Structure 1
Amino acid sequence: MNVPADGSSKLEAQVGDSEFTRAEGLWFQDCGLIIRAETTIFRVSRDFLATHSPVFADMLTLPAPDAADMMDGCPFVLLPDRAEDVTVFLKALVYYNFFEPYPAPPTLSILTGVLRMSHKYEVQELRKRALTHLSAFHPTTLSEYQALDGKSALWFTELTRDGFLPILVMARTLDIEWILPIAFYRICDFDLDRDILEADISLDDKVRCVTGSRILETAGVSKMVDFLWSPLTGLGCGSPMGCMTSRVKSRRSVEHRREQTAADMVTSPLTVWAEASWKRLDVCDLCLSSMKTAHHQAMQSLWDRLPEIFELPEWNELERLKAEALA
């Protein structure tokens, strides 16, 4: 399809008493189907849509509409979807570089709009592309989670700033179960309690968030830094007093951070002890090695428990669902 040459955004014709806005870049004069979503209209190819979407194919095989459902001599279809979602969905279909495969970074509105519409209208390849973007930042293994350090995307940055509740809502609506453990975990880490309680999610999911937050910020954090004083020195340590002093000092620092205001306190066990934290320790090589092993074991143990904490299926079942969706 050719991009429309004129840059106009208003359609002068009216249907009934309502004026409609022509979707920029999605009004093709040589195409024979007009779609309306809210107050926005699109002129596209019915055959093109039918080729990509079995839902549209079925819809467009219905008998020709009455004259009242025509516009400019074209069939006129009203969709119940948001105009913003229809816009990004159609652009993702029409323009090859509008919604590129991972790791190209879409915005949050583009990603969620394309995912909702491709799921609803069964455009499988587009849906898989959107799910790949989403899954890349909601890993199902600890090693994949740790590999996210230093990586980002436009849509993920928006969530980090504004909160992760929209991802939970979408995951529940579209049955994207394998991203739920990390979605819940991030909500507990980033979203405020008031936002969680006022969110448009089920009561059960609100309880999961509240209960999960308590587990993560108490026992979760404590077990993650237990290696700092249990045991205080390793067998064969060459400097027991020096190593013990450094370890206790670091543990006290973590506990102090847990006593700060809600905005500053430590609540995230998977990041309470970061890679940079090791540089602040002044311990012998033997103690350092044993501490790193203990810390990794604590990380893996918590990761393995995440689905259980939020009352979700086990990781192996979630990974099976992910593999099927992305196949």
Structure 2
Amino acid sequence: MCHLIAYACVASSVLGILNANCFADELTRKQAALLARYETATNNVDFEAQKDILLELSELYNEFPDEPNTFTPDHLEFILEDVTRAVRFTHEELEVAKKRQACRIAALQLFQRREVASAISQMNQAIDYSKQIFGSRSFHTLQLQLNLANEMQNSNHDRKAAIELAHHVLGILQDDKRQKCFLYYEINHALAAIYIDEGDFSKAIAHGDIAIRELERFGVVKTVNYLNLQGAMAAVLNLQNNHQAAVTHARDGLNAKYIPGGADVRYVIRLLREYARGKLALNDFSRVPEAYEQMVRIAKSTPNYPSDLIREHLLEYDRALAIMGQEERRQWVEAEISALEASLQR
């Protein structure tokens, strides 16, 4: 069950903003350029530049009010509170900010090298520095604590501590009425992932459903995160024999009509698989063959998709056809399996 819902947020490590490539082309280009500048300003601990860029992002939100966008006024205002304070830092406070940034970068590098204990120590030091200059309820502090909870979960290190830290962040966001901030989505996504790994499916579903609703509120459903969450919820619900709810989650994910490229195509395949499994368990065979065939077709058309996984998909489809009593289709599937197995033996 480990990492059934791997936290796949493709977010800026600085802003905590979803970078969805499906946005309007002009909006995407402008956001990408601003994010690159913001990352540079952050690395340079240049708060004046950060403030200017955040104000430009705010103007961009007003320029594209009808487009899916996680750069909402609430999210930007939360970050601007910190940055506006930071432009007035004393020399001593600015030195602490530089230490915070250095510890944060060191922690992320150590996590990548799987030196978890050292990474956690560096990240906790960054959090302490952040509390000194921004405060314990600031965006910059909460974002670091979210990062730490995610990394602890991803590295299977002290999951209980990760849960406590994530709930600490969630509690502050709720108490301070920050639910419209994108960070609120991120922390619920993280908790869903942690609770799935813990096997506490009821809590996983509760937090996963909140995260899904937040992405829908932002309008960013054509994203890997949305597909990942919907597929994970469908898989958990099928495991709990709540097949109708599983089918609904899988269908909602598929209705996003978004097929990412490369390895991320696995999220669409999981949606199709959980949809078919749920329908099969409900003895509702309509569209089950189509779901399996689309799953196999997508897998085959994806470069470097593992042949052994394609074989697994075909074998599952064959078992489903046996249950449905569709012998004619089975002959075709079994021929496909035989041809694939022969190619694997060469």
Q: How high is the TM-score relative to the length of structure 1?
A: 0.30
Q: How high is the TM-score relative to the length of structure 2?
A: 0.29
Max Rg structure: 1
Of Structure 1 and Structure 2, the greater strand share is in 1
